[in-house]
Structure 1
């Protein structure tokens, strides 16, 4: 089994740190598409870092950027939360695949990639660009530390476990961030 090392920096500019995770997601997605890679290990690492990243953004980054920038408003924050819920729903389908050598797994990877790439592009354009332009270096570093601390807590708690992802998807449905089950 391959061990995918999830970097655990302790400081940095929040924009750079988020972008580093985005590139890590893309690397792990490539591994999950590669039939010769350790897809199971890639899926596990991907799940944990993806959920830890999203939860840390929602707890520590989005609310503070909403207060610090003109372009990141409540609507952008809510939209980001909806997209995180969609990502978690796609992740749940990926985690529920029994093996990694099936068409079901390949289809789940394709859907995950579609939802994820849409979110990464939108977040980089509508949230990270305003953060670069409107938030000072010191505040971005402070946000980076808060983001990383929360991200590490979620990683330590194994945030990408099947049970936790199921809970997050249920909470998103209950909160109206995802359509009701019968609407899908």
Structure 2
């Protein structure tokens, strides 16, 4: 059985003439004898403005989960040493990640500057909310075992979302663009070394 698929733009509409473009997809399936078994044509509309917004929304939702859980873990710290070390670690981490995400949002919405501003403002608000919830829970009488288990689970979720953002939303699109590959690898390596050294000396 042979399958022949042809994808083409419709003749009466061009991609550059409007915000929406119509695409036609034709599929033909032939038997081994060469007889036509199935002939179908599908038409769909694609809005090029929806894809960047969907990407930005997915990125921010994942980052919001990471931010909320991370600040929650900061809020439940008890001693001054833990609070201080975690505070400076979060400051360094937030500066780098927020800058990268801000650049990504600006690339996705070059003509709609207010979308990145609103999304970053929401992220800033979630920082305060997550920390406040952590402080409130810290004042509640919970045994140490339950507190340690809940903190470990939440930090694991936070790290998981951070890995997703780093590798799938930031690094992967950058390395698909083959310009300045060596500098990108070098910057990535230096970044990992800086964070690793910060974690070593924090202990």
More strand by share: 2
Relative to the length of structure 1, the TM-score reads 0.35
More helix by share: 1
Relative to the length of structure 2, the TM-score reads 0.33
Which structure ranks higher in relative contact order (CA pairs < 8 Å, sequence separation ≥ 6)?
1
Q: Is the radius of gyration larger for structure 1 or structure 2?
A: 2
